[in-house]
Structure 1
Amino acid sequence: MRRNTSISLLALGHACVDIYQGAVAALIPFFVAERDYGYAVASGIVLAASLLSSVAQPVFGALTDRWALPWLLPVSTLLGGVGIALSGLSGSYGLTLLFVAVSGIGVAAYHPEAARVARLASRGSHSAMSWFSLGGNIGFALAPIMVSAAIGHGSLRWTPLLVLPALVGAALCVPVLRTLARPQADASRTSTSRGADDVASFVKLSLAVVFRSIVFTGLSTFISLYAQQRMQGSTIAGTVALFLLFLGGAVGSVLGGSLADRYDRIRVSRWSYLLSIAAVTGVVCTPGPAMFLFVALTSAGLYVPFSLQVTLGQDYLPSRIGTASGVTLGLTVSIGGLVSPLLGHLADATSLQTALAPLIAMPALSWLLLRTLPEPAVHKPQHAAPARQDA
């Protein structure tokens, strides 16, 4: 199987899994409408899924560092889908939390091993890894559409339909795992584990990812409301701003991989964070329709380094690739998300513009941290079977 085919299948599978990350938030309006949940109770469902998933990812990463667990890809995909599918069937809040938590565990189990397998399938190509990351972005953005299509004209009893993406995603994993047979995967694991771990650089990189997560999560939480305020209460303005925030992320992911194949990852990430400083400033301070341009630039600037930071983490910890993937994809994101409630409290006490102003400093802090980081030596995976190489 050609590299591009493997990465395409993995990217589509990644999209199927990340639908379930976005589906939890998309289901909240239906829980509120049908079960009369208050906002605090409803937010507990989102917190149960996101925190459990993000914190558990490094644990699964550590497990995949000790053992090759390719079977986790189809199993965790199915687990993520089954949890969401069952979440609407019981009126019990406790069971709803349990099923959502099961889905979160499935999502957590998927990402570290999937990132490792994608790295092997990509054979060191940053562009290929960016396409894998793009799949997750698309899945997250498609979640509201999938939820609306499944239960928008019915009730929560239709949530079992949401298991369909999981069935597709699990099936897509199979041909890739057959290609990356165990003997080849073990050989590749050995070849990518050469060199000493650079823990200090990994910690600095993780902090940079945290600051990036703070600004992106803060904007994704409040940009719709902020755009409405800046455009005289237009709900369409809020929808457009949120759409541009997600669309720019898709463009940035692919652009980041292409640039990193030409320049080194650290340099590309620094450039993107410098762009993000100016772009976030424009979002917060620019009145009128020009704000939408800065929203798109902010999203692109924040997503250019996204997949690059995952592979940088893997190269800083070459003997613990699963752990590195779990931290950069999971734990750092959840820490960033914890800041959003603080921004909400600040907005209540002052104004939304004042609350968003500190976000300007976040990409600057990421840039400062990257200024101290070296470009790590890369040991590209070498497969045992030459016949499987691209022509």
Structure 2
Amino acid sequence: MRTAIVGAALLVAGAVAAAIGILPPSAVFELWDRVWPILLFVLAITVVTELAAAAGLFTVIAQRTARWGRGRAWALWLLVALFATLSTIFLSLDTTAVLLTPVVVVLARHSGLDPLPFALTTVWLANTGSLLLPVSNLTNLLAQHAMGDPSPLSFAARMAAPAVVAIVVPLAVIFVLYRRSLLGRYGTGSEVDVDDPVLFRWSAVVVGALVPLLVSGLPVWMPAVGAAIVLGAVFMVRRRGVLRLGLLPWQLIVLASGLFLFIEALHAVGLGTVLAAVSGEGESPLALLRLALTGMAGANAIDNLPAYLALEPSAGSPLRLAALLIGVNAGPLITPWASLATLLWHQRLTSMGVEIRWRRYVVLGAIVAPLTVVLSTLALALVA
């Protein structure tokens, strides 16, 4: 409920800005046109994951993954890291946050392990792992256009070195933090039978078809909505009681809507101008670090997408745009609202009864985010 209250307050603040003329109606309509596909995707993909979880799909995936770890917690953790990295690179950070989080939580519980290092690995890599390809992050798609539309391979060639660093650094921090539990062993646990094989098969087919459709070039809300409709229809026939209003992430939708509107109002009063002045100019290593760290600060203050849009005009070159992407992609690990993926991840954890205090998340992020951004930017400067 606290999430909804904060979102409602932000909506009211944004509405007041629009009512008194700070935010013109054209800007509000342009904002709505930009964000409604994102919000619809969030709503639909959340329904898909809730229904797939109810059908036992994630439990079965977790059971099979646990076997591959062969009882070694560190091996299981590295498998999770690999899945999170590949999912983020090819399916986008938001998809990783929604689809992989329930898998890793069930996996850890099934193996008798602490779910927090696995959950933290998922959300950190969902952000830091989104540097390599244009499809990995919406900011990358925007930057690809600003760079002159290089091919995905050319884009990846420029971003490869910082992308590797941005993946390795958070993993190293997590291993140091949780080394005792990760160096232990686990039991695979007993196999859990699927209650309804028909629901399970439908869920497996729908999610299996959804994954490639999310990278097919279609707007991602389309396959997500289609998958939610199909699974909803199957559950209506097989297990109607699962279908309830609680499946809809309405609190998250309210918060995201309020955040977008409030940030747009801040743009109208000159936020972008301030950020551009702070970011400086030039392509020396220090200049690139200044821009990347400004992007990181902006992302954690106002969310990574508006931070990118505010700073894009001051980037001015492909190399500086790459540094900006490091800041807004690998840097939003401190505040809960720094990226939509983080909010989606936390919503999935809450729905599964896993608690992580935001204070602890902020403290850990304040350590790993600057370290990741600085080392990744230096890697970019080194190979430029």
TM superposition score normalised by structure 2: 0.34
TM-score by structure 1 length? 0.33
